[in-house]
């Protein structure tokens, strides 16, 4: 990932938009990123904790564009749909895990 590359990743068990703080190689196990939370349709603002170090395996999708800004990102329609799809997939995964755990306890 090059500096400014935008992607979708898991950050503290949440699907978030991230942006690479610096360039990373394929061999890097950890990525330094800025994190963004949804603000509106296709618009994302810097999260309350805007800097994170994540495992490279937590990256779910990399978008084919970069942006120099670090306070706000606007995604294309296709990128936004991909973000929503990945968010829904992981939400369903955690809901199913919770149901299975709850069923075992009763």
User: What is d(CA 33, CA 51) in angstroms, rounded to the nearest whole number?
Assistant: 6
In this prediction, residue 88 carries a pLDDT of: 93
CB atoms closer than 10 angstroms to residue 25: 7
In this prediction, residue 79 carries a pLDDT of: 94
**HSE-up (13 A, CA, CB side) for residue 65:** 10
pLDDT confidence of 92, banded at 50, 70, 90?
confident
> Is 90 exceeded by the pLDDT of residue 77?
yes
Q: What is the pLDDT of residues 9-52, one digit of tens each?
A: 999 989 999 999 999 998 999 999 999 999 988 999 999 888 99
Q: H helices of the chain, where?
A: 77-105
- At 66 the three-state DSSP class reads strand
> Is 80 exceeded by the pLDDT of residue 67?
yes
């Amino acid at each position: 990932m090059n500096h400014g590359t935008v992607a979708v990743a898991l950050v503290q068990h949440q699907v978030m938009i991230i942006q690479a703080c610096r360039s990373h190689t394929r061999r890097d196990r950890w990525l330094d990123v800025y994190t963004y939370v949804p603000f509106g349709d296709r618009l994302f603002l810097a999260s309350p904790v805007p800097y994170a170090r994540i495992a490279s395996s937590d990256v779910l999708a990399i978008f084919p564009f970069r942006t120099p800004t670090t306070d706000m990102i606007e995604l294309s329609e296709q990128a936004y749909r991909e973000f929503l799809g990945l968010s829904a997939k992981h939400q369903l995964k955690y809901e199913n895990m919770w149901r299975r755990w709850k069923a075992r306890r009763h």
